[in-house]
Amino acid sequence: MLDRWHAVALLALAGVALIGTLNVLTGDTSAGWQAFYAFPVLWAAFHLRPRAVALVTGAALASDLVTLVHLLPLAAALNDFTFFGAVLAVNALLLARPNRAQERLVDALQRQVTVDSLTGLATRRAFDDALQTALTVPVPDGTALVLIDVDPFKSINDNHGHPVGDDVLVHLAAVLRDNVRADDAVLSRLGGDELAVLLPGCDRDTASRRGAELLDAVLAQPMALADGTLLSLSISVGVAHVQEYGSDRRAVYIAADAALYEAKRAGRGRVALAPA
């Protein structure tokens, strides 16, 4: 909440204004008084992004320059400002740079937790969080959980090699993206060759139809191999309607998984809907 209101930056700028005002009122231009400008600048360098640090540091330098010019002869004011301004700017830079590097590292780690490195889809952890939200915050018509398995993925790996198996997953991820609205749905690789889609705003009939549309899209788009030949792909699809299971996330997965295996037992390349 404080970040949304820019409270940290405003607090630092208020500190700069207070220090400048006190310097003028007391007529003190000593290094000790100027050193107080370091507090809001260091505060900003520890807590804010580079642009905000530059803003606070610039405000501190401007306030110091105005105060010195107001209280000292111009030559003396510029001499003091040059020395103290350089110290202030260098300290802000030295603190802001490692903070920015740490921020990039945290972003990279967070991406590893939420984005599958192979397909670019959401990870199981991120998908679980989205499913839990769907269970606790229902939407009109409910939400559908769609589980997808490649038919048969082991044969693809055995006949073409694991790199081709990886290519298949990347290809299927692209097909899903092309056929699912990414603005509200969540697409995930749960592990191995199991993919999942969370479709908000879907009743049972719509969910079953969307599963069939995904199956048709995969069947219609074979994957080109390195030698130019086309590898036909098929998937089995299990669908469960989330709101029928209260807040029990495990029960939703069990129902969708049972539907998925029902589709496989019925001959693969099919869509099965978990019973109400």
Q: What positions carry a catalytic annotation?
A: 193
Q: Which of 192, 201, 206, 191 is nearest to 239 (CA)?
A: 206
Round to whole Å and give the CA distance between 114 and 112. 6
**Angstrom distances, CA of residue 118 to CA of 89, 160, 224, 252:** 43, 18, 18, 26
User: Within 13 A of 270's CA, how many CA atoms are on the CB side?
Assistant: 12
Q: At what angle do helices 38-47 and 7-26 cross, to 10 degrees?
A: 170
Measured from the Cβ of residue 93, the count of other Cβ atoms closer than 10 Å reads: 14
- Dig out the tokens for 255 from the structure: 């129902």
